Amino acid sequence: EEKWTYKQIVEHLEIQDKDRLKKWMRKYRQQGEFGLLDRRGRREAYIDQDRYVQKLKRENEILKKCLEIWMREV
């Protein structure tokens, strides 16, 4: 098995920044392929999802209160 140096890899892949390669390798070691996924621009989707979950929780609380009131009347 041939071992490559950072310099060889950077040159082979035509990467301008050796530190970027080191960062990618560290992410891969820590998180596997998931760590290399490009998640730029998706943060807003997560924020929207959090807002939606909060809205559903509020609706559930309202429905629970309505159910309590309805059960008392029956």
pLDDT score recorded for residue 30: 92
More confident residue, 66 or 54: 54
The domain limits of the chain are 1-37, 40-74
Q: What is the pLDDT of residues 7-64, one digit of tens each?
A: 888 888 888 888 988 888 888 889 888 888 877 766 666 667 888 888 889 988 888 8
Global pTM?
0.47
44 token code pair:
């807003």
Element (H, E) at 22: helix 18-31
21 token code pair:
């390669």
